[in-house]
Amino acid sequence: MTAMTQPETHRPRRIRLGIDTGGTFTDVVAVDEDTGELATTKTPSTPADPAEGFMAGIHKVLAQLGVPGEAVSAVSHGTTVATNRLLEGKVGNLGFITNEGYEHLLEIARQSVPDGYGNSYFWVKPPRIVAADLVRTVGGRLGADGGEIRPFDEASALAAARFFADRGVATIGVCFLHSYANPEHEERMLAVLARELPEATVSISSQVLREYREYERAVTTLVDAAVKPSIRRYVANISARLGELTAGQRAQARRVPFYVMKSNGGVLSAEEVVHQPITTVLSGPAAGALGAAVVAQRAGFDRVVTLDGGGTSTDVTVVVDGQPALTTEGSIGAFPSKIPMIDVVTVGAGGGSIAWISTEGSLKVGPASAGADPGPACYRQGGTEPTITDAHLLLGRIPAHLLGGEIPLDVTAAEEGISKLAASLGLDLPAAAAGILEISAWNQANALRQITVKRGLDVRDFTLVSFGGSGSLLACRLVDILGLRGVLVPANPGSLSAYGLLTVDVRNDYVRTAVARQANLDPRQLQSLYDALAAEAEAALAREGFAPEQRRFARSADLRYYGQAFEVRVEVPDAPMTPDVLDRVAEAFHTEHHKLYGYDFRGDQRQQVEWVNLRVSGIGPIRKPEIREIAPGAGAGTARTGTRRVHFDSWVAAAIYDRARLGAGDRLVGPAVLEEFSSTVPVHPGFSATVDRFGNILMQRATEVAP
C-alpha cells in the first residue's frame, strides 16, 4: 500500500471539563484541548447525592459533542459540599483539644459590638462550633518565639484521647498556643490520637493555618476537621465514577486528573484537597469571579463588580485589573475562616428565594430558598411558596420554560403562589410581583455596596459583570440604583462559573507568622523563612506533577503600623532580601494603606512599620481556553423571534430576541428580552444593548455611549 492510500490515523479527542455544582443547577463547560471548541450545558442539581447531577452533566455534554467518556482528559470542579455543611450548621460530633487553662478559648472569642456601645447588649458571643463538654485540655506550653516554657504532658494527652474514644467522638481539632512558631506539641498530640483513635479524623492548626491569633486559628482548624469526612467521601465517590466513565471496554479504568476549585482562586488535585478541605469552602463563587475577571479583561474593562445569580443565592465581588479582591478575614456562615479567599459577599437573592411577610407586615425576600427540590411554584414539583422566579415569569421577564424547553414553567402555578401574598399586602398580582423583584434588586445592590463603598471604593466607577442563570434579570435596575457605568453580560452567562474553572491554575498558599518591626528585621532570617515556605510550595507542585521549569512562586507579606490590630497585604519582590527590598515593601505598604484608609505615616519616624505574616503562593499553570471573536452581525432584527407583553413599570410590548443569532456590532433598544439556553436578559425601557466582538452584551442607558 502506498503512502497516498494509507488510512488516515486520527488522534483521539481530548476534552477538558469544568463543572460547577450549584443549589439548583449543575453547569458544565467542555473544551476540546486541540481545537478550542467549546460546549456548554446545564442539568438540575441533585442535593441528596450531588454526584448524580455531576455525572448527568458530563454525559449530557459528551453526547452534545459526540464523544465517548474516554475522551475526558481532565475535570475541574467547583463544589458546595463544604459550604452547605457549614451554612446548615452540620458540624457533627466535634471535639477540641487545647492548652491547659484555655478551655474557654471558643467562649471568649472576640468582642463584637454590632450596633455600637449604646446598644442594650454590649458583647455578642459567637455561636460555639464545639460543645463546652467536648473540650479537653493538655499540659505543656510554648512561647511566642516557639521556645518550650513547659514540656508536653503525655499523660493528659492520653487522657484526652481516651475521653473522646469513650464517647465515640471521631472528629477532633487541635490548637495549641503559638504552634505557628513551633508545631512540636501539636505533632505529639497527633501521634497520641493516632495510637488511641486510629480511625479518627484529626486536624491540627500547625498544618491548617500557621498564623497567629488563637481564636481564628482554632475555629479554622475545627472547620477543617468538620468538613473533612464529607469532602473525602464526596471526592472518593466522584473519582470512582470518573474511573467508570473512562473504562470503556478495558478492565482497568484510566485515572482522570480531577481538580477541585479552592477559595483562593486556584485549583488543587483531588488527592491533595482531601488533606486541606477547608480551602474549598468558597469553591463555586471563586470560580465565577475568576471567569468574570477573564471575560472582563479581554473585553477591555479593568474595574468591574461581578454578580453571580443562581437559584439559591447571589455572590458578588470586586475585580480590578483582572484580579479579584482577596481577603483572609472571611467567614462561612457563623464561623470565621482565616484562609486566603476571594472576597465574596453572598446574599439570599437567587431565583428560588422565597417571598414572605414579616410579623410587622412587611414584604421580605429570602434568604430561605426553594432550591432545586421542590423548586419555585412554577416548577410544579411540590413547591407552593412564591419565589423570585415566579415573579419574573408572571411579569413576562422570562419565557415559560428553562434550558431551552427542558424545564417547562407554569404561569398559573406562579400566579397561585403570588396571589396569596398579594392578598395579604392588598396589592394586585403585577404590583406584588414587581415588589418582590424590587426588594430582591435592593438586596443585591446592598451586597454590591458592601464590597465597594464599605471598602472605600466608589461603586459608580465600576461596570457590572452579571452572569449565572438569574444574574442578569435585574441588571438594568441595579444600574439605576447604584449609578453603575453599565452591564457586561458574557456569552453563555449561565455557565460562566464552570468556564471559570477552566481558566485557573493550581495554587497553594503558605503562611508563617513572624512579627518584627521594620527597624529590627534581619534580611537573612527573612530570606530563610521565605525559602522554607517556597520549599513547601515547591514540594506540593512536584506532587501535582509540574516540572521545575513550570513552577511559579509569588511572595507577599502582611504589614501594619506598630500598635494596629489588623494588617495590609502587599507584594514582596522576587529578589534576595536586602535592606533596599525591605524599604520597597514598606513603601508599597504606605501606598496601599493610604489607598484603603485615606492616610499613611510615610516619613513619620515615630510611627514604625511592623511585619506580621510572610506568605508564599506556589502556582502551577494550566492551559486556558481562548476567548474567540464572533462573526459580524447582520442587524439585530435578524435575531428577533416575536413580541411578548412584559411588565417593567407597566405592561409594554417587548421585542424578543434569540441571543445566539446576534452578531458583533448588533444593537437594540429596550423594552426587549434576550433569550438563550442558560439565561435570560431583560433590557428595560431606556436601555440599549450592544454586542461586542467577543459575543458579550453591553447594556447602558440609551443616552450613554459605549467606550
Q: Are 280 and 265 in contact (CB under 8 A)?
A: no
Of residues 486 and 329, which shows the higher confidence score? Answer: 486
Indicate if the pLDDT at residue 3 is higher than 50.
Answer: no
The grid coordinates listed for 549 are 521549569
Tally of CB atoms within 10 A around 176: 30
Q: What is the pLDDT of residues 331-345, one digit of tens each?
A: 766 677 777 888 888
| 10 confidence band (pLDDT: 50, 70, 90) | low
Mean pLDDT within 365-385: 82
Across 370-384, 512-526, 559-573, least confident range: 370-384
Per-residue pLDDT, averaged over 54-69, amounts to 91
pLDDT for position 120: 45
Check pLDDT > 60 for residue 114: no
Please report the pLDDT score of residue 6 as a whole number.
41
pLDDT of residue 372: 67
How many percent of the chain have pLDDT more than 70?
A: 93
pLDDT of residue 123: 53
| Nearest to 54, CA basis, from 234, 197, 218 | 234
Report the pLDDT value the prediction gives residue 341, as an integer from 0 to 100.
84
What local confidence, expressed as pLDDT, does residue 248 receive? 54
What's the mean per-residue pLDDT of the chain? 87
Host H or E run for residue 651: strand 651-658
Of the candidate ranges 206-215, 402-411, 532-541, 670-679, the one whose mean pLDDT is the lowest: 402-411
Tell me what pLDDT residue 457 has.
Answer: 86
Give the torsion sign (CA, 448, 453, 457, 461). positive
Q: Helix, strand, or coil here: 683?
A: strand
- What per-residue confidence (pLDDT) applies to 4? 40
Q: Please compute the mean of the pLDDT values over residues 60-84 and round it to a whole number.
A: 86
The pLDDT confidence band at residue 124, using thresholds 50, 70 and 90, is low
Work out the angle at residue 55's Cα, subtended by the Cα atoms of residues 49 and 57, and round it to the nearest 5 degrees. Answer: 110
CB neighbours (10 Å) of residue 588? 18
Using the predicted structure, report yes or no on whether residue 269 has a pLDDT greater than 90.
no
Q: Determine the Cα–Cα distance for residues 157 and 166; give it in Å rounded to an integer.
A: 14
Based on DSSP, count helices (H) and strands (E) in the chain, helices before strands. 16, 37
Say yes or no to pLDDT of 98 above 70: yes
pLDDT at 106 over 90: no
What's the confidence (pLDDT) of residue 655? 96
Q: What is the CATH number of domain 283-337+461-500?
A: 3.30.420
Confidence of residue 285 (pLDDT cuts 50, 70, 90): confident
Grid-cell match 457549614, residue found? 86
Q: How far apart are CA 67 and CA 608, in angstroms?
A: 63
Structure confidence at residue 429 as a pLDDT band (50, 70, 90): very high
The CATH number given to 506-620 is: 3.30.1490
What band does 89 get if pLDDT is binned at 50, 70 and 90?
A: low
CATH node for 15-85+232-280: 3.30.420.40
Assess whether pLDDT exceeds 80 at residue 82: no
Predicted confidence at residue 399, as pLDDT, reads 92
At 680-693, the pLDDT tens digits run: 999 999 999 999 99
Q: So what's the pLDDT on residue 241?
A: 86
Number of CB atoms found within 10 A of residue 248's CB: 11
The pLDDT score that the predictor gives to residue 271 is: 85
* 259 Cβ neighbours under 8 A, 6+ residues apart: 74, 75, 76, 77, 267, 268, 269, 270, 501, 506
For residues 602-626, one letter each, b for 16 or more C-beta atoms within 10 angstroms of the residue's C-beta and e for the rest, the string is eeeeeeebbbbbbbbbbbbebeebe
Q: Side by side, which strands form the sheet with 72-78? A: 38-44, 25-32, 15-21, 72-78, 258-261, 267-269, 506-517, 609-620, 552-561, 568-572
Residue 199 CA to residue 666 CA, distance in Å, equals 62
Per-residue cell: 408: 417547562
For residue range 127-171, list pLDDT tens digits in order.
778 888 999 999 999 999 899 999 999 999 999 999 999 999 999
Q: Report whether pLDDT(460) > 60.
A: yes
CA distance 649 to 700: 18
Which pLDDT value is given to residue 508? 87
State pLDDT tens for residues 433-457: 999 999 999 999 999 999 898 887 8
Higher pLDDT, 178 or 86: 178
At residue 567 the predicted structure's pLDDT band, cuts being 50, 70 and 90, is confident
Q: In angstroms, what CA-CA distances link 531 with 179, 511, 554, 571, 576?
A: 20, 12, 12, 16, 10
Q: What is the pLDDT of residue 322?
A: 86
pLDDT at 495 (0 to 100):
87
Q: Three-class SS string for 178-218?
A: CCCCCCHHHHHHHHHHHHHCCCCEEEEHHHHCCCCCHHHHH
